[in-house]
Chain A
């Protein structure tokens, strides 16, 4: 049955796929909000909270932030290229996004490794911040818990974003997407930007404030 649809002014007759991903993103954003608000609450409630620069590696993560920002831009380029029908450039931009996303995740894992293993550097930082212990693990303090909770949740999103990119990339290599048909790419773009958006919140709340 070909459906005859009731038109919908309130939503500009947005395609279902796009509406779906938007609603999903709003839902997901609420989870992030809950985690960040919980962290803020615990902090204002008096949990011991060192100044972030004392423990976390802010310069490295700042670099990471720029990486993610750049990936957002390349993703935008990919969408633009598929819209204008430039297959080669489209695939290239997608590849760049994949690379940048993977780089982000790699750096993040490196930082995690340092914290959990408790390298010399981390120990020095901890001592300087007046915190006990030789490593920085979720169970070390409420602060550490919030850090791992927020960044870990975000990291999982990056991971699923990467899988999504690979899936679309595979389709692109088979030539599935073209000027007329690229809703999947648009959904991917929305999801990837959302990850970037959430990182802005996480970065500010967890690393900078």
Chain B
């Protein structure tokens, strides 16, 4: 590596070092997580205390209406919460921050295959985020047709004025471009830049998860990009690809086409988010149980099967959109088929902990909680996957509960786990364990109350995206529970401030961590902080699998790094 003197700009802003880019993504994602979280709080406030002034932020954000929400601002906040959380919070965290930071380190590469593209990818992502934020201030406010943006509501025919929807589509297309560039980089890097000895079946499961999720990104993001370009044309050039019915002025458009295209992407998208989670959790469980990941090969195969199946089941979001019987049945079959590989590797998670020696460090607590919440979230997927029960539960709060258990619980908890786990490698210090544990317990309990009760009210019939649920008589008895959800949601939101405090406090004042604070076996723990541009001073040669814990042949310690030879 050339030791050119680097200016501030090229070192911290337009850096091509994957670790710096990873950190940039981390802060970017955290900012949007906060933003999305704040929006969740606003939504919950409105649901609990309809049309009253929102404390603290109300007057700042909604000055025209005395700090209260109105139906149109509610829809805007709702749309932005979904969009921001999925595409600007969780995506940059998982396929941005952790993918960038971890992949080259764990496979023993000096950097990404295309460092420049990597840098470009971040800044395009950044630009898209800025456009999205600015859309709040454009005429008519931000988009307001849900994160799914079903036309014709999301076209000029839908009656929502302003630029919001067009900017929404534009920023998503840009975000898609950035994600594609990232995926391209990760795939090439993993295929071509693995260190000697690191064959595919010695890669840590995190890398597997990120690899598969990048493949899904590469296949399905271009498709939604095409769909969104059409939606954009509908909004700005007056085409009507997705408009039909009496309001259409051009014959031949079809709203269902959009739904097909959206879900063809939308379903893989949720697996794009969960696959890295599965990998991270598998690795963490193994590390902190001091035991090899149970059934590594089977887990890999199951993840591959899920990846394949995920592209074939999009129709389960459209069961009640007038689907033909044959199609409905095939989608139902394929959807339920996914639970087979999922439950097999779920069992492997339990197998990893079985007869282990469990160390309850903060990352482990979060990882174990993912086992809990993903079990519940995945099993509630079965209610949605069956057509007849979906007739009742479609677009209900039960569905909202399902996907918050899988997304907001599983994905978020594992992002926390990953942050606590890799923090020492990123900043050279450990995060405070006591604050971490308090953060964990409050988050875990509040989160379960919030999302479980969403399932409850959904079961009792409440449907989603309601500005004021008490407009319906059959929801009035549920308003008490809705208020409780909100209370716990505020606790949940509040305790994240503790996390933020811990994060920034530990960055400067935390306990200094050594090279390998968790006694983990994968390659990133063989280099000292700060990891230089170029990562490894001598090219690593991999001699064993990623989870050599408690191997009786290794004497003196209960782990062996991947660069160590296991004695015969």
**Chain A contact residues, CB within 8 Å of chain B:** 1-6, 8, 11, 14, 16, 19-20, 23-24, 26-28, 30-31, 33-35, 38, 41-42, 45-49, 137-145, 149, 153
Contact with A along B113-128 (1 / 0, CB 8 A): 1100100000000000
Q: A1-B538, A16-B188, A16-B192 are in contact. List 5 more A-B contacts (CB 8 A).
A: A23-B188, A34-B226, A35-B230, A141-B250, A142-B239
User: Min CB distance, A115 to chain B, in Å?
Assistant: 13
- Residues of A within 8 Å of B230, CB to CB, are 35, 38, 145, 149
> Given A20-B184, A48-B251: A6 and B223 within 8 A (CB)?
no
- Residues of A within 8 Å of B11, CB to CB, are none
- Residues of B within 8 Å of A4, CB to CB, are 195-196, 539, 541
Q: What CA separation (Å) do A23 and B251 show in the bound complex?
A: 38
Q: Flag if A138 contacts B192 (CB, 8 Å).
A: no
Q: Flag if A16 contacts B219 (CB, 8 Å).
A: no
> Given A11-B191, A138-B238, A142-B241: A30 and B261 within 8 A (CB)?
no
> Given A6-B194, A38-B226: A20 and B539 within 8 A (CB)?
no
> Given A31-B223, A139-B238: A2 and B539 within 8 A (CB)?
yes
> Given A4-B196, A142-B240: A45 and B222 within 8 A (CB)?
no
Q: What CA separation (Å) do A16 and B1 show in the bound complex?
A: 19
- Residues of B within 8 Å of A142, CB to CB, are 239-241, 250-253
Q: What CA separation (Å) do A46 and B253 show in the bound complex?
A: 9
Q: What CA separation (Å) do A108 and B128 show in the bound complex?
A: 31
Q: What CA separation (Å) do A33 and B261 show in the bound complex?
A: 12
- Among B202-230, those with CB < 8 Å from A are 218-219, 221-223, 225-227, 229-230
Q: How many residues of B contact A (CB 8 A)?
A: 53
Return 26 A-B CB contacts under 8 Å, by A number.
Answer: A1-B534, A1-B537, A5-B193, A5-B194, A5-B195, A8-B192, A11-B192, A14-B192, A16-B114, A16-B189, A19-B188, A24-B180, A27-B180, A28-B222, A31-B223, A33-B223, A34-B222, A41-B257, A47-B251, A48-B251, A138-B233, A142-B240, A145-B233, A145-B239, A149-B239, A153-B229
- Residues of A within 8 Å of B261, CB to CB, are 34, 38
A28 closest partner in B (C-beta): B222
User: Min CB distance, A153 to chain B, in Å?
Assistant: 7
Q: When the two chains form the complex, which single residue of A1, A5, A11, A144 contacts B1, counting CB atoms closer than 8 Å?
A: A1
Whether, in the assembled complex, B199 has its beta carbon less than 8 Å from a beta carbon of chain A, the answer is yes
- Residues of A within 8 Å of B535, CB to CB, are 1
Q: Flag if B222 contacts A30 (CB, 8 Å).
A: yes
Q: Flag if B192 contacts A141 (CB, 8 Å).
A: no
Q: Which of A11, A24, A140, A143 has the most CB of B within 10 A?
A: A24
Q: What CA separation (Å) do A139 and B241 show in the bound complex?
A: 9
Q: Flag if A1 contacts B222 (CB, 8 Å).
A: no
Whether, in the assembled complex, B187 has its beta carbon less than 8 Å from a beta carbon of chain A, the answer is yes
Q: Flag if A16 contacts B251 (CB, 8 Å).
A: no
**Nearest 10 interchain pairs by C-beta:** A47-B252, A139-B238, A34-B226, A145-B239, A31-B222, A142-B252, A6-B194, A4-B196, A30-B222, A34-B223
Q: When the two chains form the complex, which single residue of B191, B198, B241, B251 contacts A19, counting CB atoms closer than 8 Å?
A: B191
- Residues of A within 8 Å of B538, CB to CB, are 1
Q: Flag if A6 contacts B195 (CB, 8 Å).
A: yes
Q: Flag if A6 contacts B253 (CB, 8 Å).
A: no
Q: When the two chains form the complex, which single residue of A1, A42, A153 contacts B539, counting CB atoms closer than 8 Å?
A: A1
Q: What CA separation (Å) do A154 and B257 show in the bound complex?
A: 22
Q: When the two chains form the complex, which single residue of B113, B221, B250, B537 contacts A20, counting CB atoms closer than 8 Å?
A: B113
> Given A30-B223, A139-B239, A145-B233: A6 and B250 within 8 A (CB)?
no
Q: When the two chains form the complex, which single residue of A138, A141, A153 contacts B252, counting CB atoms closer than 8 Å?
A: A141
> Given A1-B536, A3-B539, A42-B254: A138 and B188 within 8 A (CB)?
no
Q: Flag if A34 contacts B227 (CB, 8 Å).
A: yes
Q: Flag if A23 contacts B227 (CB, 8 Å).
A: no
User: Min CB distance, A94 to chain B, in Å?
Assistant: 23
Whether, in the assembled complex, B237 has its beta carbon less than 8 Å from a beta carbon of chain A, the answer is yes
- Residues of B within 8 Å of A137, CB to CB, are 237
- Residues of A within 8 Å of B184, CB to CB, are 20, 23-24, 27
- Among B230-264, those with CB < 8 Å from A are 230, 233, 237-241, 250-254, 257, 261
